[in-house]
Amino acid sequence: MTIDFEYFASTASGRRATSLLGNKRAVEDLYERTFGAVAESAPHVGLGKLRTTEQLCGGSIWINLRTAERCVAGMCLAFQVSLDALPLAMHRTPSGKGKKRYRSPANLTRGV
What's the confidence (pLDDT) of residue 80? Answer: 95
Give the number of other CB atoms < 10 A from CB of residue 99.
Answer: 10
Examine residue 101 and state whether it is found in any structural domain, yes or no: no
CB 102 within 8 A of CB 90: yes
Examine residue 95 and state whether it is found in any structural domain, yes or no: no
Confidence of residue 95 (pLDDT cuts 50, 70, 90): confident
Report in angstroms the alpha-carbon separations of 3 from 28, 33, 34, 96.
11, 12, 12, 27
In angstroms, the CA 33 to CA 57 distance is 9
- pTM for this one? 0.87
pLDDT 10s digits, 44-65: 887 778 999 999 999 889 999 9
What's the confidence (pLDDT) of residue 25? Answer: 96
Q: Which domain holds residue 60?
A: 5-46+53-87
Examine residue 42 and state whether it is found in any structural domain, yes or no: yes
Examine residue 109 and state whether it is found in any structural domain, yes or no: no
Q: How many domains does the chain have?
A: 1
